[in-house]
Amino acid sequence: MGIAEWRARLRQGEVSARELTQSHLDRIAAVDPTVHAFLEVTGERALASADRIDAARAAGQELPPLAGIPLAIKDNLCTKGIRTTCSSRMLGQFVPPYESTVTERLWDAGAVLVGKTNLDEFAMGSSTETSAFGPSRNPWDPERVPGGSSGGSAAAVAAGECLAALGSDTGGSIRQPASFCGVVGLKPTYGRVSRWGLVAFASSLDQVGPFTTSVADAAEILQVIAGADRRDGTCLQAPVPDYSAALGRPVKGLRVGLIRECFDQPGLDPAVKASVLAAAQRLEALGCELVEVSCPRFDDGIATYYVIAPSEASANLARYDGVKYGYRAAAPEGGDSLATMTARSRAEGFGEEVQRRILIGTYALSAGYVDAYYRKAQQVRTLIRRDFERAFEAVDVLLSPTSPTTAFRFGAHRDDPLAMYLADLLTIPANLAGLPALSLPCGFDAQGLPIGLQLIGGVLQEEQLLQVAHAYESDARVMDNRPAAALVA
CATH number, domain with residue 110: 3.90.1300.10
Q: Examine residue 32 and state whether it is found in any structural domain, yes or no.
A: yes
The distance from CA 445 to its chain's CA centroid, rounded to whole angstroms, is: 23
155 C-beta neighbours (distance < 10 Å), count: 38
User: What is the pLDDT, as a whole number, of residue 36?
Assistant: 98
Q: Please confirm whether the linkage preceding 149 is cis (ω < 30° from 0).
A: yes
Contact 129, 120 (CB under 8 A): yes
Contact 162, 181 (CB under 8 A): no
Residue 187: active-site member: no
Q: Examine residue 140 and state whether it is found in any structural domain, yes or no.
A: yes
Reduced to 3 states (helix: H, G, I; strand: E, B; else coil), residue 282 is helix
CA–CA distance, 143 with 137 (Å, rounded to integer): 7
CA–CA distance, 408 with 127 (Å, rounded to integer): 9
The distance from CA 327 to its chain's CA centroid, rounded to whole angstroms, is: 26
CA–CA distance, 36 with 57 (Å, rounded to integer): 34
Q: What is the largest CA-CA distance in the chain?
A: 76
β 207-212/289-293 pair status: unpaired
CA–CA distance, 377 with 78 (Å, rounded to integer): 31
β 70-74/38-41 pair status: unpaired
Q: What are phi and psi of 291, to 5 degrees?
A: -135, 130
Contact 173, 148 (CB under 8 A): yes
Give the residue numbers spanning the domain of 227.
3-251+435-481
Q: Left (φ > 0), alpha (ψ -120 to 50) or beta: where does 91 sit?
A: alpha
User: What is the pLDDT, as a whole number, of residue 367?
Assistant: 87
DSSP 404-448: SSSPPBTTTTTT-HHHHHGGGTTTHHHHHHT--EEEEEEEE-TTS
User: What is the pLDDT, as a whole number, of residue 417?
Assistant: 85
Question: 3-class secondary structure for 104-161?
Answer: HHHHHCCCEEEEEECCCHHHCCCCCCCCCCCCCCECCECCECCCCCCHHHHHHHHCCC
Q: What are phi and psi of 167, to 5 degrees?
A: -135, 180
pLDDT tens-digit series, residues 81-123: 999 999 999 999 999 999 999 999 999 999 999 999 999 999 9
Stretches where the chain sits below pLDDT 70 are 333-335
Catalytic residue among 74, 136, 168, 439: 74
Q: Examine residue 449 and state whether it is found in any structural domain, yes or no.
A: yes
pLDDT tens-digit series, residues 237-287: 999 999 999 998 999 999 999 999 999 998 999 999 999 999 999 999 999
Residue 244: active-site member: no
321 C-beta neighbours (distance < 10 Å), count: 18
Q: Examine residue 307 and state whether it is found in any structural domain, yes or no.
A: no
CA–CA distance, 89 with 351 (Å, rounded to integer): 8
User: What is the pLDDT, as a whole number, of residue 337?
Assistant: 87
Non-local CB neighbours of 465 within 8 Å, separated by 6+ positions: 186, 397, 436, 437, 438, 455, 456, 457
Number of domain units in the chain: 1
Catalytic residue among 127, 136, 150, 173: 173
Catalytic residue among 131, 149, 244, 314: 149
Contact 136, 152 (CB under 8 A): yes
Residue 16: active-site member: no
Reduced to 3 states (helix: H, G, I; strand: E, B; else coil), residue 384 is helix
User: What is the pLDDT, as a whole number, of residue 415?
Assistant: 83
The DSSP letter of residue 240 is P
